[in-house]
Amino acid sequence: MDMKPGFETRVIESGQTIYFAGAPGNAWLLVGGSVRLDRCDMDGEMVGEMEGESAFAGLAIKGDVLGAETLLFGRYTFTATALTSCALVPWPGGQQAPEAASLLKVLADAERRGADAIALRYGEAAMRVRKLIQIIAASHPGQTLSRLMLPALNDMADITALTIGTVSRTLSLMQADGSLSSQERRRGRPKACK
Amino acid sequence: MDMKPGFETRVIESGQTIYFAGAPGNAWLLVGGSVRLDRCDMDGEMVGEMEGESAFAGLAIKGDVLGAETLLFGRYTFTATALTSCALVPWPGGQQAPEAASLLKVLADAERRGADAIALRYGEAAMRVRKLIQIIAASHPGQTLSRLMLPALNDMADITALTIGTVSRTLSLMQADGSLSSQERRRGRPKACK
DNA sequence: CGGCTTCTTGAAAAGTATCAAATATAGTGG
DNA sequence: CCACTATATTTGATACTTTTCAAGAAGCCG
């Protein structure tokens, strides 16, 4: 988020919810950062995967459009949460309705992103985590991402269909062999964003 | 495929390739059956997951639109293969360009289907296979699907991120406890479709 | 009938989950 | 400012699931 936020830009800290499934709202263009989408029922409770756990349903990174379905239904289908710090602007920008070509691009991006998310759940733990970090890195161009900027272990575990413990162990190994900068590490309750 | 095929309907047998990534073509509405999408490079070789293996990238079932990206790029992004016997009609039907509302619906469907595919790679083997069968069943309404109508083990393994052996064992158990009709079983080279 | 492909099944090996405890940090209230 | 609570992360030992590797069975085809 090196850009100067316009008056309409919405900045979200890592871990914060951007919108809830079922809530009314508009679509957004993600101009920086990365977002997870979750399938939820009307009450905001997570649904699916295992009973009571979160149901990871998709990924969005810099350049993707979030919540385009609101143009059709008026409400969000998924719950969106910031994996890393994000910047959003309303979409479409000026005009009321997007052009067909824009929608086709959004669709093509969505399908590619879906394929990425599917690929993140295949192979051994080390490879999955590496792939995820690579994708996250693409949404923060120019920044070398330290351990601090990565999503929470909980998020990485949901996305890769691994457990928190396995992701933690994998990152420890990566830090040991130098494939991940082992600067600081985050712990404890995330910083509250008043 | 209980419907009477119109003169433009394209019928595809299970296992057949519908189109290849990189090839020119138009978009299709899947009016019956189920399809797997794979990420491939230009030469038709599979790319990704493990080196040399197929890279499952998405799922489509009855009612979904395939290859909408051709309206933008002129070429297919993924390779599409029939998981079960399929029927396709060109999309959009009459007019040249689809309306914005249609595109939004296609987008919403694509995101839901992506979430489904992601969910198929989480949990224990038995649950994943069960979920997949349920999705396949939805694309063949009215038919009780026997072992014969299921996709090939190879496809089910790619989709669920399990191995062929594990899927086979899971199906055997399901047939043993009656949760899957154990009528006939397919084996050997699939029937050639002249 | 051979040749090919898909499917089935077994036993051992590998990888990950589970469970539990310890360590770190941020916020809260005295 | 210091306990104290709540949340995140790290790490270990064990149990479990799935993979791997291999062989055989079953169907289709020429």
DSSP 3-state of A79? strand
SS3 letters across A129-194: HHHHHHHHHHCCCCCCCCHHHCCCHHHHHHHHCCCHHHHHHHHHHHHHCCCCCCCCCCCCCCCCCC
C-alpha span between A124 and A129 (Å, rounded)? 9
From first CA to last CA, the distance across chain A in angstroms is 20
Q: Is A192 on the interface with B (CB under 8 A)?
A: no
CB contact under 8 A, B114 and A50: no
Note the pLDDT of residue B134.
96
**A-interface mutation test, from B77, B118, B127, B131, most A Cβ less than 10 A away:** B118
Instruction: For residue A77, give the nearest of B71, B103, B108 by CB distance.
Output: B108
- State the nearest Cα–Cα gap between B137 and chain A, in angstroms: 19
- Residue whose structure tokens are 């079960």: B84
Q: Report the pLDDT value the prediction gives residue B194, as an integer from 0 to 100.
A: 40
pLDDT in tens, B114-161: 999 999 999 999 999 999 999 999 999 888 778 888 999 999 999 999
Give the whole-number percent of chain B exceeding pLDDT 70. 82
When pLDDT is cut at 50, 70 and 90, the band that residue B10 belongs to is very high
Query: Could you tell me the pLDDT band of residue B192, with boundaries at 50, 70 and 90?
Result: low
Mean pLDDT of the region B18-37: 96
* B164, pLDDT greater than 60: yes
What is the distance in angstroms measured between the alpha-carbon CA of B161 and the sugar C1' of C12? 22
Question: Scanning every residue of chain A, which has its alpha carbon at the shortest distance from the alpha carbon of B60?
Answer: A111
> Is the Cβ pair A119, B73 closer than 8 Å?
no
pTM for the model: 0.91
- pLDDT digit string (tens) for chain A, length 194 residues: 445 656 689 999 999 999 999 999 999 999 999 999 999 854 555 555 444 446 999 999 999 999 999 999 999 999 999 999 999 999 998 767 888 899 999 999 999 999 999 999 999 999 999 999 999 999 998 887 788 889 999 999 999 999 999 999 999 999 998 888 876 666 666 665 44
The token duo for B73 is 């790029």
Distance between the alpha carbon (CA) of B95 and the C1' atom of C17, Å:
54
Phi/psi-derived region of residue B71, left when phi > 0, alpha when psi is between -120 and 50, beta in every other case: alpha
Closest CB to B72 among A104, A114, A123: A104
Is the pLDDT score of B48 beyond 70? Answer: no
> Which chain A positions have a beta carbon within 8 Å of B113's beta carbon?
114
Token code pair at residue A43: 């009450």
